[in-house]
Amino acid sequence: MKLLVPIKRVVDFTVKVRVKPDGSGVDLENVKMSMNPFDEIAVEEAIRLKERGLANEIIVVSLGPAACQETLRTALAMGADRAVLVETDAELEPLAVAKLLKQIVAKEEPQLVILGKQAIDDDSNQTGQMLAALLDWPQGTFASKLEIAEGKATVTREIDGGLETLELPLPAVITTDLRLNEPRYTSLPNIIKAKKRPLDTLKISDLQTDIAPRSKTQKVGAPQPRKAGIRVNSVEELVTKLREEAKVI
């Protein structure tokens, strides 16, 4: 079984981004970039399926600028077999990404696509569901457990209020939640080995699909800052403040 894992290069999760004064976006100059944490979980899950003998090839794919090669190399160093970069400097909407991924799926014919449930930059939480829709495949989103047997995926999903378990016929799309696994660290020997693994680059035009934007970001602003609070010195003082000043209890 072939696995496809799309990954996105995003601002590292430890960075507190700043909005640009002109309102055109957030300042990404000299900011640390990493693989989207949920995508790391997706890569890890694919590797574990391969280690359990349930898959024989893992292809990672990223859509974005040339710098995404670095992200793809990280995935290769974790244990993916080969990488595809769809190189573009254009801002892609989740729908456009899903359409491009559909073309890659048509070429590679994986049985399972595993994606992160959301990218921590635009927080959209759409691409996996959209890809599933375009392929007409079933979807198992927000997975905290995944089992594959007899042509079926059994997925435990994190939902409001608890957990849900679904059985999906393959091929299918899975999106990962935080508790699916803990991604491994890459070791120096594996990083060196990863340099020799194939990384193909495609152009958007190679994939021939309509990716004209359907939405437009007019402005990016900073949220209203909270006004500075105070320190209280005792439980009594806290209770008094909550009763008499804030009037919330």
Partner 1 sequence: MALLVLAEHDNATLKPATQNSVAAARKIGEKADTSEIHVLVIGHQAVPVAEAAARIEGVAKVILADEVELGPQTAEILTAQVLLQLQAEHYSHLLAPATTYGKNVLPRIAAKLDVQQISGIIDVLSPSTFVRPIYAGNALATVESIAGAIIVLTVLSTGFDASPLRETSAPIESAKELAKDSAGVRLVGRQLASSDKIELTAARVVVSGGRGLQKAENFQLLEALAAKLNAAVGASRAAVDAGFVPNDYQVGQTGKIVAPELYIAVGISGAIQHLAGMRDSKVIVAINKDPDAPIFQVADYGLVGDALEILPQLTAQL
Ligand X SMILES: Cc1cc2nc3c(=O)[nH]c(=O)nc-3n(C[C@H](O)[C@H](O)[C@H](O)COP(=O)(O)OP(=O)(O)OC[C@H]3O[C@@H](n4cnc5c(N)ncnc54)[C@H](O)[C@@H]3O)c2cc1C
Which residues, including other chains, have CB under 8 Å from residue 148's CB and lie 6 or more apart?
A: 1, 49, 54, 112, 154, 170
Q: Is 242 in the site for ligand X (CB under 6 A)?
A: no
Closer residue to ligand X, CB minimum distance, 1 or 120: 120
Classify the C-alpha dihedral 19-23-29-33 as positive or negative: positive
Q: Which helix (H) or strand (E) holds 236?
A: helix 235-240
CB 38, min distance to ligand X, A: 6
Among 37, 64, 128, 140, binds ligand X (CB under 6 A): 37
| 12 versus 237: smaller Cβ distance to ligand X | 12
Q: What is the DSSP string of 14-78?
A: T----B-TTSSSB--TT--EEE-HHHHHHHHHHHHHHHTTS-SEEEEEEEESTTHHHHHHHHHHH
> Minimum Å distance from CB 75 to ligand X?
16
Considering only residues 13 through 32, tell me which ones interact with ligand X, judged by CB under 6 A.
13
Least separation in angstroms between residue 210's CB and ligand X is: 31
* Residue nearest ligand X, Cβ-based: 37
If the CB atoms of residues 96 and 115 are measured against ligand X, the closer one turns out to be 115
State the binding partner of 71 from partner 1, ligand X, none, CB within 5 to 8 A by kind.
Answer: none
Site for ligand X in 104-133 (CB under 6 A): 120
